Structure 1
Amino acid sequence: MADWDVVVVGAGNAALCAALAARESGASVLVLERAPEDEGGGNTRFTAGAIRTVYNGVDDLRALMPDLTDEEVAITDFGTYTSDQFFDDMFRVTQYRCDADLAETLITRSYDTLTWMRGKGVRFQPIWGRQAFKVDGRFKFWGGLTIEAWGGGPGLVEALWQSAARQGIEIRYSSRVLNLLYDDIKVSGVRVKTPNGVESIKAKALVLAAGGFQANPEWRTRYLGAGWELAKVRGSRFNTGDGIRMALDIGAAPYGNWSGSHAVGWDYNAPEFGDLTVGDNFQKHSYPFGIMINAEGKRFVDEGADFRNYTYAKYGRVILNQPNQFAWQVFDQKVTHLLRDEYRIKRVTKVTAPTLEELVGKLEGVNPQAALAELTAWNDAVMTEVPFDPNVKDGRSTRGLAVPKSNWANRLDTPPYEAYQVTCGVTFTFGGLRIDGNGQVQDVDLAPIPGLYAAGELVGGLFYFNYPGGTGLMSGAVFGRLAGTEAGKAAMEGTTRAAE
């Protein structure tokens, strides 16, 4: 049986941050990844790479993104995103349910963690085009989200893998951890299924960072509810809740919003699991500039309730609850230049028509008469006297509709019209394990389990009902670094005591 100071289960953003942090203490570190190498990296590989962080002005951003030119800064309003704003967003979108201690750790360590990642070779860039629109020659960032990893999620994983290799961290692929080695007092390793059979690996400390249970249809139906087995999975097919299960099996405390998940509008004909050749582009997130109608031809949600990154993670659930689990997003030519790049890929479920009458006839699964009546009523209700501005909540609303649209309302009157069919794509689940302020997993008596730490999607208590865009990668990095640091410290202290 091999001996390691720290074993990390998983190989995505949270896991690799944990591995790098543990290595800083001098610990020997082994990373066990269930997926084969070409599918490794967890959900991180499938993300667009947006990361939400506190910053107090453009100088903070330039420190993280030194490639920013003076010309780019001159035509851009980056604004600020203070810790108070981050706290407000976290509490508001989670309906004041998020664990205050976890939120404080996330927010107060966000910028410092990105600085640390930059020191490990991770590069960042502004989210041009997805979080800022050019109006009157000037970009304005909105929604508190300004930064993305260079190369998106795949670029982030590649940078972290390279950093791990430089630090002498071993990553073993096709290595599924089956259960923890536990003597009713402390965790001392794992049992792993590999292509060569099952083996036990001993460790002085263990970090679980193996994702949520979103790729497990049985667990989705058990915990999220009836119908959730019908959702598409946006990311890795390997995130089936193994890390959560093996911790619960030894008495770890479950925590958080177990019936909640991050779920978005996702192309209706996307495959069952994420496709790395398409990445995040099956998502369809420009709905604030159009309208969504269901199979009954009815609008069912306020598409302009808030900026996209404060609503997209909860609207997947709303779409799943519609008849036959789909909706059509409808736009006209006044706004198609604002649609994100994901609307222009080859693998997209799209129809176009020169008139609304023809369009509704092409919307598969939709009652065309009801849809045309809905679109006609919509056009009559738009407050055209209010100026349209995609960079701010412009108050351009509707009058007299059962389901209002609070911002960015536009008449559908400029052909050709475009419509995109979406269903629910689940990103990650919100329920998971309870950790303390050191990233250590707690048992059902709320005492820390010696030797066991956790980070990433399988930590519960941070997100409830909804999620501010870009917080998942930031959470994975912050809590991965925390768990790895503490696991490394515990392992090395144990080594020192043993030597004495």
Structure 2
Amino acid sequence: MYYDCIVVGSGNAGSCAALSAKENGCQKVLLVDKCSPDWVGGNGYFTAGAFRIVHNGLEDLLPIVQNVTPEQAKRIDLDPYSREDFVEDIMRLSGRRSDPTLAASLVDNSRDTVDWLAGYQVPFILSFHRQAYEVGGRQKFWGGLVLSVEDGGKGLIAAEHKALKEAGVEIWFDCPVVKLLVQDNTVTGVIVHKDGSELSIESGGVILAAGGFEANSKLRVAHLGMGWEKAKVRGTPFNTGDCFAIAKDVGAKLVGDWASCHSTTWDFNAPEIGARNLTNQFTKSGYPLGIMLNANGERFVDEGEDYRNYTYARFGKAILLQSGGFAFQVWDAKMLGILRKEEYGDGVVEKIFADTIEALAHKLGEIGLTGQAQFVKTIQAYNAAVAQHKMENPDWNWDPAVKDGLSTQSSHLSLSPPKSHWAESIDKPPFMAVKVCCGITFTFGGLAIDPASAAVLSESGPIPGLFCAGEMVGGLFHNNYPGGSGLSAGAVFGRKAGASVSKGKAMRA
């Protein structure tokens, strides 16, 4: 049995790889996934559908988005996001440890790849619901991330798989890859488990897009450390790291930050693995509008350190490290109408209300708050620090769409940790709290690839016939990442991998 190209993984990266292989000349393309059809889409299905790309502002994006009328466009403030902005965000958040050539390849191909996906009828929209606030009657976008997909990851995977079907890509579910076929140092196919037996399939090229190891509790402990077995898996339970061992068996080089991952603030009551009905709604990213306190009643992060999409991928770890591995997010009445409905709406999360901070502490004591007195003292100290800063800076205004400088730090009173922006007092009832934990999204360690072709590298160079895309790519993200760059990377390197398989097949013909 022979296919021109075999793709492993049905998520965003794998879908892009298969579409690219097909359009670049591979006649027979097979996509395999060990999941059942009910779990199609990998982690991509569970995302908000956000794509971080280089762009020149609103006018540049209007031709590819589907949710902006001419009248709406007149009330939008959306700054350009340059190549330099995107590269700097990746490098800044990684502590300058990201592979600069890999980062540049992602950034330089991000805009064109979104145009390419739009050509496959992926329904892009401006992300009003996640990345903009209404300020003075205008929609102000913030944090460099402005683009998403209608219906989030669900809409993305639906559009990509519709395109795969129309392109004639064959898809086998319940079909794990167990080994790579190698002849003369070239990967020539795969061995899969199908219908209870092993089946060898030869191919002109194999693309690994099977995700990280975040759903494997043993590998989490081995690489991330003790305690990570308690993290909840945001997405698919099938990303267990199998393909890393398979690739290593043929000489693939492992690179990147194997000790870190994308982990976010997650609903404490969410299931242990991703739920396909609510998906990303279990995210609880409203902390910049309030504060977070641990079981001892103490703050432990700077909730206003940066825009949410630059901090959320590592605050999950901060929560995991707290006593009990959970925390409480707290707001007052001034902020309740600004919290995103898809994350904090009725029926989405358990909300605890009270008319006083003392009463709120008492209620939270029933669900894990051991330091009730300290909880009250922490909020009182926070309010005093906010008031002192405002007294010294009376002309500064609270603005959630910019880094407004409103903080807990002043000449007479400073907190540790600080809240560096968006520090507003918590003093107007009713008060609300939700309980959150750590949700792991994807791991950062992976395979070394050539940034130009997405070919998997060994210690001595490219492994002929083997390519990689998506969360299996190592070296791109370290410790943290800019929100929305994961889907962009999957699409960029998936597209490259598909084209490379076709090119390699033509050269061998």
TM-score scaled by length of structure 2: 0.95
Asked if the contact 1:287–1:329 (Cα under 8 Å) also holds between the matched residues in 2, the reply is yes
Q: Which moved more, 1:307-316 or 1:191-200?
A: 191-200
1:71-110 to 2 correspondences below 5 Å: 71-110=71-110
2:443 is the alignment partner of 1:442:
no
Superposition pairs for residues 286-297 of structure 1, below 5 Å?
286-297=286-297
SS of corresponding position for 1:50: coil
**Which runs of structure 2 are paired with 1:180-329 in the superposition (5 Å)?**
180-183=180-183, 185-329=185-329
CA distance in 2, matches of 1:331, 1:30: 50
Q: Report the alpha carbon displacement of residue 7 of structure 1 after superposing the two structures with TM.
A: 0.1
Q: Over aligned residue pairs, what C-alpha RMSD do you find?
A: 1.1
Tell me the number of residue pairs that the alignment of Structure 1 and Structure 2 aligns. 493
**Mean CA deviation greater in 197-206 or 381-390:** 381-390
SS of equivalent residue, structure 1 residue 18: helix
* Gap change, CA 1:61 and 1:420, over 3 Å in 2: same
The residue number in structure 1 matching 2:493 is 479
Q: Which residue type is aligned with residue 372 of structure 1?
A: V
> 2:381 is matched with which residue: 374, 377, 382?
377
- 1:314-341: per-residue Cα shift (whole Å, max 9, x none)? 1111111111101100000101111112
State the partner residue of 2:126. Answer: 126
Taking only the aligned residue pairs, the percentage that are identical comes to 46
Distance 2:352 2:150 in 1: 33
Residue 57 of structure 1 and its aligned partner are, at CA, apart by 2.1
Corresponding position of 1:365: 368
| Equivalent residue for 1:464, pick from 478, 484, 488 | 478
Deviations 1:276-322 (A, max 9, x none): 01110111001001000001110011000000000000111111111
Secondary structure of the equivalent of 2:207?
A: strand
Task: Output one character per residue of 1:37-56: Cα deviation in whole Å (capped at 9) or x when no partner.
Answer: 11111000100101100101
Aligned to 1:8: 7
CA contact (8 A) 1:5 1:492 kept: no
Deviations 1:328-381 (A, max 9, x none): 000001011111121115142321111100001111221111111111111111
- d(CA) in 2 for partners of 1:256 and 1:271? 30
- Name the amino acid aligned to 1:173: F
| Separation of aligned partners in 2, 1:160 and 1:106 | 20
Contact 2:66-2:123 at 8 Å conserved across structures? no
**Residue 409 of structure 2 is aligned to residue 406 of structure 1:** no
Find the aligned partners of 2:202 and 2:183 in 1 and give their Cα distance: 13
Asked if 2 retains the 8 angstrom alpha-carbon contact of 1:352 and 1:418, the reply is: yes
Q: Which amino acid aligns with 1:23?
A: K
- Alpha-carbon offset, residue 129 of structure 1: 2.5
CA–CA distance in structure 2, aligned partners of residues 345 and 194 of structure 1: 43
Instruction: Name the aligned partner's letter for residue 397 of structure 2.
Output: P
**Contact 1:22–1:489 at 8 Å: present in 2 too?**
no
1:424 aligns with 2:438: yes
Tell me the secondary structure at the aligned position of residue 298 of structure 1: coil
Aligned equivalents of 1:487, 1:83: Cα separation in 2: 28
Q: Does 1:17 align with 2:27?
A: no
Tell me, in whole angstroms, the C-alpha distance in 2 between the residues paired with 1:236 and 1:106. Answer: 24
Note if contact 1:293-1:328 (Cα within 8 Å) is conserved in structure 2: yes
* Matched letter for residue 230 of structure 2: L
Q: Which amino acid aligns with 2:16?
A: C
Aligned partner of 1:330: which letter? V
Alignment partner of 1:387 out of 392, 397, 408: 397
State the 1:68 CA deviation. 2.5
Which whole-Å CA distance do the structure 2 matches of 1:462 and 1:7 have between them? 24
Q: Secondary structure at the match of 1:338?
A: coil
Partner SS, residue 483 of structure 2: coil
Runs of 4+ with deviation above 6 angstroms: none
Report Cα offsets for 1:18-38 as digits up to 9, x if no partner.
001001122120000111111
| Distance (Å, rounded) in 2 between the aligned partners of 1:77 and 1:59 | 11
Task: Give the counterpart letter for 1:414 in structure 2.
Answer: K
CA contact (8 A) 2:187 2:466 kept: yes
CA distance in 1, matches of 2:346, 2:50: 20
Secondary structure at the residue paired with 1:265?
strand
Partners of 2:19 and 2:385 lie apart in 1 by: 55
Unaligned runs of 5+ in 1: none
Which digits, 9 at most, give the CA deviation of each residue in 1:246-293, with x for residues without a partner? 101222100100001000000112111000011101110010010000
Shift in Å, 1:184: 6.1
Counterpart amino acid of residue 335 in structure 1 = M
> Structure 2 matches for 1:166-185, cutoff 5 A?
166-183=166-183, 185=185
Amino acid at match of 1:30: L
Aligned equivalent of 1:68 = 68
Residue of structure 2 in register with 1:351 after alignment: 352
The SS at the match of 1:15 is helix
| Alignment-mate amino acid for residue 3 of structure 1 | Y
Distance 2:466 2:228 in 1: 31
**Are 2:24 and 2:498, in contact at CA under 8 Å, matched by a contact in 1?**
no
Find the aligned partners of 1:333 and 1:398 in 2 and give their Cα distance: 20
Write the letter of the residue equivalent to 1:369.
A
- Higher alpha-carbon deviation: 175-184 or 245-254: 175-184
Contact 1:122–1:149 (CA<8 Å) still a contact in 2? yes
